[in-house]
Structure 1
Amino acid sequence: MLEKFVDTLSVPQRIVFTFILAILGGATLLSTPWASASGEATSFLDCLFTATSAVCVTGQVTLNTAEHWNLFGQVVIITLIELGGLGFMAILTMAYVATGRKFGLKQQKVIQESLNLDSISQAKPMIMYLVKFALSVQAFGMLLLSFVMIPEYGLGRGLWFSFFHAISAFCNAGFDLFGDSLLSYTDQPFVLLVIAGLIFSGGLGFVVWRDVLEYHRTKKLLFHTKIVLTATSVVLLTSFVLFALMEERHGSFAGLSIGDRLANYLFMAVTPRTAGYANVNYSQVSMGSIYLTIVLMFVGGASGSTAGGIKVNTLAVLALYLIREFQGRTVHVFNRSVTDRALEKAAYIFIAGVILVFIATMALSVSEVIPHDFGLEYILMEVVSCFGTVGLTMGLTPYLTAFGKFILIVLMLMGRVGLLTFFWSFGNHTKTQKIKYLNGQVMIG
């Protein structure tokens, strides 16, 4: 019955349905008494919020992960994170390979859509590469973290902490078992840099990584790779310098050495790429840093990665369009032109993202209570964090109303599956429009 229903769905509908199914399954497991540290059943709405945050690799939590969930609950959460981060089609592909089954055309289309691939022929090899690369990086990250976690927590707990945070960081999820994110590690640059490296690896995109790692053989890079690497470098370097300037003046890390402070500024530039690990209390940083963090969360990482946001390549395409339009020239870079279709998709994603953030912020401004010492940034940070699947907060999450939780659950889902995929799941985009209308004139600007 379920298989027949799935066969009737379009590719975008299949992707959205798979995520919803996983969220509901995860929420059901978390709602049982066996998942909580107290041995009591947890509110289903909080479980739904937690499962959505895990599957959508956000890290926003209404319940403290370290304190509320027992080992079983934590295993459920990290499993959901891995499924959401690598993608359900990656897991399905591995199952098909293990059983010797072949891919159908529609299954390959789902993989192509979920990873933003240009060609359907790339689907199976890209999935195989994705899984091998992800597991290798996570294993290496776990090994590095274990050098700190095992001496601090003992062998068993140290290995579990290393395993959990390596996956959570690579998948850009931001869930932690420390209870205070990474606030207790601001004076340990090794931990910050390892986590930052995992975040960066997951947020760069699997197509880009394969292209870079095979450069020694191919001696060339894809146009997409060049765009992502250039835009990422500019965004990362600029944000690092700005955070350093603003927080040096504000004194957020005044008690640390210059080396430790630089590591923390770099981490502040990396974590809004949709990771959500916090090395500072964002209610106590400068207003400029809050604003910059919100902008970085909205942008996010690269397409085809574990990151959310509108994507850094979308920002690059829009920036190129604005520059070239100002100069009166076509949009081109690296001796290649950007297609009109790419420009249309970039504009759609950006405009839809701005509208969604505006509507959600307005809704939460009505439903939630803003403390006297805060302004609209208290809510805007929460909204953009969920839309970009980041997980950073200024303290609102534990105090959300039921309405606020529902709004953010929807935002996290939309941010993870992608705005185009989410909205296309409500319509049929395979049919061509037979009726054409005359052009109308409208004044712009």
Structure 2
Amino acid sequence: MRLHNKDIHINPPQWIIIGFLFLIMIGTVLLLLPSSSAGPTSIGFTDALFTSVSAVCVTGLAVVSTGSDLSLFGQTVVMVLVQLGGLGFMVFGISVAILLGKVTGLKYRQLLQTTTNSLSARGLLRIAMIVLLFALLLEGGSTLVLTWRWHEELGLADAFYYALFHSVAAFNNAGFSLFDQSMEQFVGDPTVNLSLSTLFIVGGLGIMVIADVYKTRNFRFLSLHSKVVLTTSAALLVFGFVALFLLELWNPASNGLSVSERLWAAYFQSATPRSAGFNTVDIGSMLVASQFLIIVLMFIGASSGGTGGGIKTNTFVVLLLAMFNTFRSGNQVHAFKRTIAMETIMRALAVVVSSLAFIIVATLILTVTEGINDVYFLTVLFEVVSAFSTTGLSMGFTDELSTVGKVVIMITMFVGRLGPLALAYALTYQQTVSRASYPKDQVLIG
């Protein structure tokens, strides 16, 4: 690109940022239209911008009720933004270009590689097509199942629309719901619980893991990345389920639930912090210990290349393994009989530290702007982590945000969706390697 006879080099992450900003701008304009509002007037610029950012960043935090305050047109805009923001606009764009028979060069392959967080650009165009078709088939299957489940209550047409909206939101790990209380009325419903959780669990695994499983179909021959993601995801799901079930046994607010409903509630609430955003129980009524556990699970989030957010499961495991290796004085970090490169460990450390730093700053700002004397710290921290991890769960704080608070949460959602490390790289025009070499010295730790 040339501007005023000067070459401007835009790297792939910068193109991703430009694309996301463009989608947010278009979404804001569409949601500002009176036809997007269920009422006689527009929902206003701030709320339209917040909703657009939340949809494109597949978060689900809402300052207006998606089902009550938005019209059918406005809800459709949100659904399309979620689909584009979740699967990645580059996956869609390149897939459409392939279908139309247009040529895609190395630049577009690099963009797709950046979007999917894949380790190699080889075969990405074919993977993009497979993942797109897989996503549409999975969303379509869930739509049929949920239509069958809801058709007696809502009627066939409304049931289909509700099923389609929630299937798209679930696969893309966005917590938008047309029901005012999310999925709380279906706390013990196996069909709703399994349909939605399957979508956001699979969507959160990542494009490369899905493609790897499809190609190999044998755990032994999966890549190290896929093995780490699958085992960690399963372990976190089981841990969260057991911990939340045991903790909520002491919660008086759960006394009205049967044993079966408690089990389904524990399962769903252990899966949804992975960046899904739906809830089948009131998060604000849960025990403080349960809320804090959900914060931890949200911070870890989904997996690289998936539709979810957080620091990612693979990042969490790499640092965990590095910590254990340090304790036992090993000189290499291993997983599944493979050595993890030191560069990967340093990147994981950079992601976690920068994420924690951003969350701390955003939380500090909100505790000041949202009422320094009466705001509850855990409520603010929950909201910030939910926004940063693009989860969309809330303890009821989103509706009370001031204009400044909304801006802070919007920035948090945007940074969380792109990732701190990707954002830092995108804002760096030139990367230079230092040629200086200095003597080694020691710094005391601990």
TM-score for both structures, normalised by structure 2: 0.95
2:140 pairs with 1:139: yes
C-alpha displacement at 1:133, in angstroms?
1.1
C-alpha displacement at 1:162, in angstroms?
0.4
Counterpart-to-counterpart distance in 1, 2:219 and 2:358: 41
Deviations 1:388-427 (A, max 9, x none): 0011111111111111111111111111112211111111
Counterpart-to-counterpart distance in 2, 1:338 and 1:217: 22
Counterpart-to-counterpart distance in 1, 2:218 and 2:441: 52
| Identity percentage of aligned residues | 35
Counterpart-to-counterpart distance in 1, 2:162 and 2:286: 28
2:222 pairs with 1:232: no
1:172 corresponds to: 173
Aligned-residue CA RMSD (Å): 2.0
Counterpart-to-counterpart distance in 1, 2:7 and 2:52: 22
Read off the aligned partner of 2:334 and give its amino acid letter: H
2:267 pairs with 1:286: no
Flag structure 1 segments of 5+ consecutive residues without an equivalent.
none
1:357 corresponds to: 359
Alignment of 1:192-207 (within 5 A): 192-207=193-208
Alignment of 1:39-118 (within 5 A): 39-118=40-119
Among 360, 367, 370, the residue aligned to 1:368: 370
2:37 corresponds to: 36
Cα distance change, pair 288–301 in 1 and its aligned pair in 2 (3 A) = same
Read off the aligned partner of 2:386 and give its amino acid letter: S
SS at match of 1:394: coil
Read off the aligned partner of 2:147 and give its amino acid letter: S
C-alpha displacement at 1:6, in angstroms?
11
8 Å contact 1:6–1:14 — kept in the other structure? no
C-alpha displacement at 1:7, in angstroms?
7.2
2:269 pairs with 1:271: no
Aligned residues: 444
8 Å contact 2:207–2:305 — kept in the other structure? yes
Cα distance change, pair 7–147 in 1 and its aligned pair in 2 (3 A) = farther
SS at match of 2:152: helix
2:344 pairs with 1:342: yes
SS at match of 1:54: helix
Read off the aligned partner of 2:358 and give its amino acid letter: L
Deviations 1:21-52 (A, max 9, x none): 10011011101111101131221111111000
Counterpart-to-counterpart distance in 1, 2:310 and 2:219: 31
Cα distance change, pair 191–314 in 1 and its aligned pair in 2 (3 A) = same
C-alpha displacement at 1:371, in angstroms?
8.7
8 Å contact 2:95–2:125 — kept in the other structure? no
2:426 pairs with 1:443: no
Alignment of 1:412-427 (within 5 A): 412-427=413-428
2:263 corresponds to: 262
1:156 corresponds to: 157
1:295 corresponds to: 296
Read off the aligned partner of 2:344 and give its amino acid letter: A
Counterpart-to-counterpart distance in 1, 2:218 and 2:7: 41
Read off the aligned partner of 2:362 and give its amino acid letter: A
Counterpart-to-counterpart distance in 2, 1:160 and 1:264: 25
Counterpart-to-counterpart distance in 2, 1:352 and 1:180: 34
Counterpart-to-counterpart distance in 1, 2:302 and 2:133: 21
Moved more, 206-215 or 349-358: 206-215
2:23 pairs with 1:22: yes
SS at match of 1:214: helix
Deviations 1:112-148 (A, max 9, x none): 1111111111321221121011111111111111122
SS at match of 1:332: strand
SS at match of 1:65: coil
Cα distance change, pair 6–123 in 1 and its aligned pair in 2 (3 A) = farther
Cα distance change, pair 315–429 in 1 and its aligned pair in 2 (3 A) = farther
Read off the aligned partner of 1:106 and give its amino acid letter: K
Counterpart-to-counterpart distance in 1, 2:372 and 2:216: 51
Counterpart-to-counterpart distance in 2, 1:427 and 1:231: 32
C-alpha displacement at 1:2, in angstroms?
11
Counterpart-to-counterpart distance in 1, 2:3 and 2:399: 38
C-alpha displacement at 1:443, in angstroms?
2.8
Read off the aligned partner of 1:359 and give its amino acid letter: V
2:11 pairs with 1:10: yes
1:210 corresponds to: 211
C-alpha displacement at 1:253, in angstroms?
3.1
Cα distance change, pair 95–347 in 1 and its aligned pair in 2 (3 A) = same
Counterpart-to-counterpart distance in 1, 2:437 and 2:66: 55
